[in-house]
């Protein structure tokens, strides 16, 4: 069981091949969704630790079943595709991620593997640079003849978002440079200081705007604004630490290049050092770790890079990371504090989530007063398999607990000090009734979570559902955010999504008073009605995502919408699939990325009478747009099954797949008799062999690009 996604997970070593394939499909969807939430929306839905665990699980399954590795494998992706709304910039040199080291031994191994790759003996000199890993987002700045012409985010590593106007508002980013090569692409990190972050959140809070979970999200959310004037009002900073295209080298070592960037007028990090080997690297790491609380900005590790640029060039890249660099991450941060209470929050799907209320404590420069307790077993000291965690120690109100935070969005409790437990502390009794509506809260077999059975009568579920309904990936109604729907709900004006669309007819002129209410600014009622009316016409995928059905995220909604096309077809199919067997069920399960859990949840939502009636009332207010595959007439690959293998040099796997799918092709992860075309880059192995055996047409990357040229 993944603690945060609450989905049962089988051990990797007992998976059958079929289970493994469906698990890889599921993980690719989950990870793609998490990546979009984190990188494209700057609003992570799960913690970094949960994300890293899913990614590791995916890698483990791929290692056991290499032939099942998907064309869109999350192991081969960086970040997320550029968000719509921004112009796109194709990077002349890819912007990649970094491999991680978690221990001193890992650093030793990093040095050893580099020596081995370069054929250097253990004693041969080999220097590195060591510098803080800034927790922000990377940005590439292009200067032509000294003038800043372009700024791009990393995006998916090969295509980023055009944020030129925004970057120009960052005080650390020069608009003109003297004495530069004709082409100079400077790369570095945009970040926000702790002080600016807190002031920004306080301001946002006052205005009823969006607040940010941490400085990284704030920096990313501020740079990635469609209106550069908003970026200008946000205090962003920039450290330069790398480069892309250059018409002339900046030096022969990393160190020289950074010095040169500094001379040109960029801020470079003052804690950068040159080190002679692993022991010096680790020593510098400890020094930086000590200074970390006083830096005033977030860092999450120290980056080591081979100093000689010629050696960097020889070492080159893996699919998503350079071989010549590694990020030595700081361990999870820990602090002890008193647990003052346990609150139960009720979510959109009725899940009762226990939250620890803590005596405020600073963990890594951030004041923490809440931590997640996951579920009732976790409080008891058990994991999802009924095995002991924390040595089986339960968590009680009054306990001294160890809080930990690993660059994480949500702090957790790592340990309990039984020696300091008050004599009168009693085991926590997890409620069996919903604290919000009093309905029974039940736990289905195999589910770690206890859920309120109140459904639509539960105010907590109703509010969370409404908040989700108006969220960015769903209806995204201008001027109607989480705060506003909550207020409408409390006032009794809106109790379900359909009522958003009948607000005007029910309250009409009475709503002029909005203006005078907190959080509404100058937004007039007529402006709000117009924004609501605009969203009556809604794409099927957004509608489906907006319904907030358990397990059905954005990516899944897209696929389901494309599969059924229209609302009517979808609704009929869900009714037919209700017995969870038969043709309609099989058809549902066949959708790429769909598992039995998601399918069951989807069918269940349509089968539940009150929920269905509520959905029906909503549909009557809407004009649901048909989801269509792009026009593929004239496409030579429409209807064909294509497999990509080997290294693609001009596009990422994800891009190749997306483009092929837009052209009407079906992209598969493995070669079979049904395959029509294999696109094989360098390093293509067993798949190319199999294709040759089966007599399947094979093209190299250039051949493929030529085939689809102009489409």
Ligand X SMILES: NC(=O)c1ccc[n+]([C@@H]2O[C@H](COP(=O)([O-])OP(=O)(O)OC[C@H]3O[C@@H](n4cnc5c(N)ncnc54)[C@H](O)[C@@H]3O)[C@@H](O)[C@H]2O)c1
141 belongs to the binding site for ligand X (CB under 6 A): no
260 in a labelled binding site: no
410 belongs to the binding site for ligand X (CB under 6 A): no
Alpha helices in 224-308 (DSSP H): 228-232, 254-264, 278-291
452 belongs to the binding site for Zn ion (CB under 5 A): yes
Binding segment toward Zn ion, per CB under 5 A, in 288-296, 373-381, 446-454, 607-615 = 446-454
463 belongs to the binding site for Zn ion (CB under 5 A): no
Question: Which one of ligand X, Zn ion, none is in contact with 434 (Cβ closer than 5 to 8 A by kind)?
Answer: Zn ion
Question: Which one of ligand X, Zn ion, none is in contact with 343 (Cβ closer than 5 to 8 A by kind)?
Answer: none
598 belongs to the binding site for Zn ion (CB under 5 A): no
97 in a labelled binding site: yes
Convert residues 152-181 into a mask of x (bound to ligand X by CB under 6 A) and - (unbound): --x---------------------------
Question: Which one of Zn ion, ligand X, none is in contact with 259 (Cβ closer than 5 to 8 A by kind)?
Answer: none
Among 22, 28, 47, 337, contact with ligand X (rule: CB under 6 A): 47
Among 221, 454, 473, 553, contact with Zn ion (rule: CB under 5 A): 454
Among 86, 110, 128, 241, contact with ligand X (rule: CB under 6 A): 241
Convert residues 70-89 into a mask of x (bound to ligand X by CB under 6 A) and - (unbound): --------x-----------
DSSP 382: B
97 belongs to the binding site for ligand X (CB under 6 A): yes
98 belongs to the binding site for ligand X (CB under 6 A): yes
702 in a labelled binding site: no
Evaluate whether 299 touches 329 at the Cβ level (below 8 Å).
Answer: no
Nearer to ligand X, 65 or 191 (CB): 191
Q: Choosing from 133, 412, 465, 657, which is the catalytic residue?
A: 133
Report the site for ligand X in 211-230 (rule: CB under 6 A).
Answer: none
Question: Which one of Zn ion, ligand X, none is in contact with 38 (Cβ closer than 5 to 8 A by kind)?
Answer: ligand X
Cα distances (Å, whole numbers) of residue 132 to 91, 628, 681: 25, 47, 36
Nearer to ligand X, 258 or 395 (CB): 258
46 belongs to the binding site for ligand X (CB under 6 A): yes
Nearer to Zn ion, 82 or 548 (CB): 548
Binding segment toward ligand X, per CB under 6 A, in 44-52, 113-121, 372-380, 480-488 = 44-52
Structure tokens at 613: 């009636």
Of 60, 81, 74, residue with least CA distance to 669 = 74
Structure tokens at 660: 């092929």
437 in a labelled binding site: yes
Of 88, 29, 76, 54, residue with least CA distance to 656 = 76
Nearest 5°: the CA angle 436, 440, 442 is 115
Dihedral (C-alpha) 478, 479, 482, 483: value to the nearest 10 degrees? 180
Partners of 539 in beta bridges: 625
Tokens 């690009």 belong to residue = 705
Q: What does the alpha-carbon distance between residue 389 and residue 383 come to, in Å, rounded to a whole number?
A: 6
DSSP 441: E
Binding segment toward ligand X, per CB under 6 A, in 43-51, 158-166, 432-440, 578-586 = 43-51
660 in a labelled binding site: no
465 given a catalytic annotation: no
Nearer to ligand X, 327 or 591 (CB): 327
Of 541, 542, 507, 543, residue with least CA distance to 526 = 507
640 in a labelled binding site: no
Tokens 């909005």 belong to residue = 514
133 belongs to the binding site for ligand X (CB under 6 A): yes
48 belongs to the binding site for ligand X (CB under 6 A): yes
Question: Which one of ligand X, Zn ion, none is in contact with 303 (Cβ closer than 5 to 8 A by kind)?
Answer: ligand X
Q: Give, to the nearest 10 degrees, the angle between helix 278-291 and helix 104-118.
A: 140
34 belongs to the binding site for ligand X (CB under 6 A): yes
Buried b (16+ CB within 10 A) or exposed e, 544-579: bbbbbbbbbbbbbbbbbbbbbeebeebbebbeebee
Question: Which one of Zn ion, ligand X, none is in contact with 436 (Cβ closer than 5 to 8 A by kind)?
Answer: Zn ion
**Secondary structure E strands in 333-469:** 333-346, 352-363, 366-372, 400-405, 412-416, 441-442, 451-452
Of 259, 288, 281, residue with least CA distance to 127 = 281
From its phi and psi, is residue 381 left (phi > 0), alpha (psi between -120 and 50) or beta?
left
Nearest 5°: the CA angle 572, 577, 583 is 100
257 backbone dihedrals φ, ψ, rounded to 5°: -60, -40
Evaluate whether 420 touches 398 at the Cβ level (below 8 Å).
Answer: no
Nearer to ligand X, 556 or 642 (CB): 556
255 belongs to the binding site for ligand X (CB under 6 A): no
Question: Which one of Zn ion, ligand X, none is in contact with 47 (Cβ closer than 5 to 8 A by kind)?
Answer: ligand X
Among 16, 17, 52, 66, contact with ligand X (rule: CB under 6 A): 52
Of 426, 410, 432, residue with least CA distance to 352 = 432
Structure tokens at 343: 């609150």
Instruction: Look at the alpha carbons of 201, 202, 205, 206 in this order and tell me if their dihedral is positive or negative.
Output: negative
434 belongs to the binding site for Zn ion (CB under 5 A): yes
Among 61, 126, 134, 326, contact with ligand X (rule: CB under 6 A): 134
The DSSP secondary structure of 8-70, one letter per residue, reads ----GGG--HHHHHHHHHHHHHHHHHHHIIIIISS--SS-HHHHHHHHHHHHHHHHH-GGG--
Question: Which one of Zn ion, ligand X, none is in contact with 34 (Cβ closer than 5 to 8 A by kind)?
Answer: ligand X
Nearest 5°: the CA angle 634, 637, 638 is 70
Question: Which one of Zn ion, ligand X, none is in contact with 241 (Cβ closer than 5 to 8 A by kind)?
Answer: ligand X
Nearer to ligand X, 29 or 577 (CB): 29
Instruction: Compute how many residues bind Zn ion; rule: CB under 5 A.
Output: 7
Annotated catalytic residues are 133
Residue numbers of the site for ligand X (CB under 6 A)?
Answer: 34-35, 37-38, 44, 46-48, 51-52, 78, 97-98, 131, 133-134, 138, 154, 189, 241-242, 303, 327
Q: Per the annotation, where are the binding residues for NAD(+)? A: 48-52, 97-98, 131, 154, 189, 305, 329
The footprint of Zn ion (CB under 5 A) covers 434, 436-437, 439, 452, 454, 458
Q: Which residues are annotated as a binding site for Zn(2+)?
A: 434, 437, 458
């Amino acid at each position: 069981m993944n603690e945060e996604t609450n989905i049962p997970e089988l051990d990797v070593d007992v998976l059958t091949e079929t289970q493994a394939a469906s698990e890889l499909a599921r993980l690719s969807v989950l990870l793609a969704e998490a990546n979009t939430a984190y990188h494209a929306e700057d609003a992570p839905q799960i913690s970094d630790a949960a994300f890293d665990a899913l990614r590791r699980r995916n890698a483990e399954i791929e290692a056991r079943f290499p032939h099942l590795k998907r064309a869109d494998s999350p192991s081969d992706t960086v970040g997320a595709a550029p968000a719509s709304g921004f112009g796109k910039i194709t990077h002349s040199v890819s912007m990649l991620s970094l491999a991680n080291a978690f221990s001193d031994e890992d650093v030793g191994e990093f040095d050893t593997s580099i020596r081995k790759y370069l054929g250097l003996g253990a004693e041969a000199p080999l220097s590195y640079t060591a510098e803080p890993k800034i927790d922000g987002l990377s940005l590439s700045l292009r200067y032509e003849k000294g003038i800043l012409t372009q700024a791009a985010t990393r995006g998916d590593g090969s295509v980023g978002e055009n944020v030129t106007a925004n970057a120009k508002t960052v005080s650390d980013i020069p608009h003109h440079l003297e004495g530069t090569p004709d082409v100079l692409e400077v790369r570095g990190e945009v970040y926000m200081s702790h002080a600016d972050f807190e002031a920004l959140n306080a301001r946002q809070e006052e205005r009823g705007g969006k607040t940010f979970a941490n400085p990284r999200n704030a920096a990313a959310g501020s740079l990635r604004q469609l209106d550069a004037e908003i970026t200008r009002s946000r205090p962003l900073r920039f450290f330069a630490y790398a480069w892309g295209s250059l018409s002339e080298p900046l030096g022969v070592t990393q160190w020289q290049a950074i010095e040169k960037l500094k001379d040109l007028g960029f801020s470079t990090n003052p804690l950068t050092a040159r080190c002679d080997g692993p022991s010096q690297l680790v020593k510098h790491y400890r020094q930086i770790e000590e200074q970390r609380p006083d830096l005033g900005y977030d860092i999450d590790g120290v980056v080591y890079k081979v100093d000689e640029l010629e050696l960097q060039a020889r070492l080159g890249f893996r699919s998503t990371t350079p071989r010549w660099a590694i990020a030595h991450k700081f361990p999870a941060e820990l602090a002890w504090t008193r647990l003052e209470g346990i609150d139960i929050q009720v979510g959109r799907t009725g899940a009762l989530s226990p939250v620890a209320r803590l005596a405020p404590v600073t963990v890594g420069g951030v004041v923490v007063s809440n931590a997640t307790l996951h579920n009732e077993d976790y409080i008891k000291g058990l994991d999802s398999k009924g095995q002991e965690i924390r040595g089986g120690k339960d968590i009680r109100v009054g306990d001294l607990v160890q809080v930990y935070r690993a660059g994480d969005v949500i702090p957790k409790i790592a340990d309990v000090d039984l020696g300091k437990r008050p004599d009168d502390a009693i085991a926590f009794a997890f409620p069996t009734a919903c604290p919000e509506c009093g309905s029974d809260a039940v736990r289905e077999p195999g589910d770690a979570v206890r859920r309120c059975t109140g459904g639509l009568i539960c105010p907590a579920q109703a509010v969370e559902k409404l908040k989700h309904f108006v969220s960015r990936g769903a209806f995204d109604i201008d001027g109607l955010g989480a705060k506003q729907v909550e207020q409408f709900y409390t006032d009794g004006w809106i109790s379900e999504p359909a009522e958003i669309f009948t607000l005007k007819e029910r309250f009409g002129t009475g709503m002029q008073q909005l203006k005078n209410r907190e959080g509404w600014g100058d937004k007039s009622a007529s402006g709000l009605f117009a924004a609501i009316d605009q969203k009556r016409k809604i794409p099927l995928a957004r509608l489906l995502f907006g319904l907030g059905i358990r397990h059905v995220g954005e990516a899944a909604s897209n696929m389901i919408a494309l599969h059924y096309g229209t609302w009517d077809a979808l609704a009929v199919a869900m009714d037919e699939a209700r017995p969870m067997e038969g043709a309609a069920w099989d058809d549902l399960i066949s959708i790429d990325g769909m598992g039995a859990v998601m399918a069951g949840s989807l069918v269940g939502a349509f089968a539940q009478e009150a929920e269905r009636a509520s959905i029906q009332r909503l549909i009557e207010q809407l004009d649901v747009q048909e989801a269509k595959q792009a026009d593929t007439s004239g496409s030579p690959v429409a209807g064909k099954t294509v497999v990509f293998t080997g290294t693609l040099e001009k596009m990422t796997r994800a891009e190749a797949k997306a483009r092929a799918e837009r052209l009407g092709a079906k992209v598969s992860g493995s070669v079979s008799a049904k395959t029509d075309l294999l696109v094989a880059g360098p390093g293509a192995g067993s798949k190319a062999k199999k294709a040759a055996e089966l007599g399947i047409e094979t093209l190299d990357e250039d051949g493929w690009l030529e085939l689809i040229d102009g489409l």
